[in-house]
């Protein structure tokens, strides 16, 4: 039980003409207040609902054996390799030997050209940012996917072979200019 006590001062001098009353001790019992506090806490704990964790559902492709994957035609795929200095290299039909360079300003025409030549169910773009590409360029190419209403695209790591092809194409382009 909690209480508040004030002690009476002993040895206090009396002054003439002023009548002093003797202070009585005050006792306040705080037990009901503590009980009320715990009752309120208990009420709010029992009446609140625990929030359910939210998760993002991902639609992952089915695992296909390698022989089946190799026999499927990939004519609808356009692969864009993001290089440094605001350059993009692209190739079609899973053939990096036909790699060409384009600037960010002209990539929209490449995407639209491929989109018009391909059935909508087969059209897909594979985005592969290189180690020299900037975060800004990756965001810009994702914005191009939205602008061109590309429904199917994937952001994938660039393979070492593709990086070497890209570096080789970049050096050939510098020699010809």
Query: Does 38 lie in the same domain as 81?
Result: no
Buried b (16+ CB within 10 A) or exposed e, 62-86: eeeeeeeeeeeebebbbbbbbbeee
Domain residues for 2?
1-6+24-46
- Average pLDDT value for residue range 11-39: 78
Q: State residue 174's pLDDT score.
A: 46
Number of domains in the chain: 2
Residues 76 and 118: their CA atoms lie apart, in Å, by 6
Return the pLDDT at 173.
55
Task: Write the pLDDT tens digit of every residue in 158-174.
Answer: 888 888 877 776 665 54
Q: Give pTM, 2 decimals.
A: 0.54
More confident of the two residues 97 and 44: 44
Average pLDDT over residues 39-49: 89
CA distances from 72 to 38, 49, 97, 98, 120 (A): 68, 51, 20, 20, 17
Higher-scoring residue by pLDDT: 110, 18: 110
The H or E element that residue 146 is part of is helix 135-147
The CATH number of residue 164's host domain is 3.30.420.270
Mean pLDDT of 8-24: 64
Which among 148, 23, 176 is positioned nearest to 78, based on CA atoms? Answer: 148
Which pLDDT band, with edges at 50, 70 and 90, does 74 fall under?
Answer: very low
> Is residue 176's pLDDT more than 60?
no
Is 83 in the same domain as 29?
no
Task: Identify the bridge partners of residue 92 per DSSP, sorted by sequence position.
Answer: 78
Residue 16 falls inside a structural domain: no
């Amino acid at each position: 039980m909690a209480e508040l006590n004030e002690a009476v001062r002993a040895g206090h001098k009396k002054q003439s003409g002023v009548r002093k009353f003797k202070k009585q001790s005050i006792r306040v019992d705080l037990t009901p207040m503590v009980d009320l506090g715990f009752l309120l806490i208990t009420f709010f704990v029992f009446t609140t609902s625990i929030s359910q964790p939210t998760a993002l559902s991902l639609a992952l492709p089915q695992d296909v054996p390698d022989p089946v994957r190799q026999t499927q035609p990939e004519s609808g795929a356009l692969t864009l390799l993001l290089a440094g200095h605001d350059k993009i290299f692209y190739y079609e039909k899973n053939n990096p030997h036909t790699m060409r360079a384009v600037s960010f300003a002209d990539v929209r025409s490449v995407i639209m050209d491929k989109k018009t030549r391909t059935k909508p169910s087969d059209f897909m773009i594979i985005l592969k940012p290189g180690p020299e590409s900037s975060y800004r360029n990756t965001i810009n190419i994702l914005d191009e996917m939205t602008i061109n209403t590309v429904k199917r695209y994937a952001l994938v790591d660039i393979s070492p072979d593709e990086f070497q092809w890209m570096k080789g194409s970049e050096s050939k382009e510098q020699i010809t200019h």
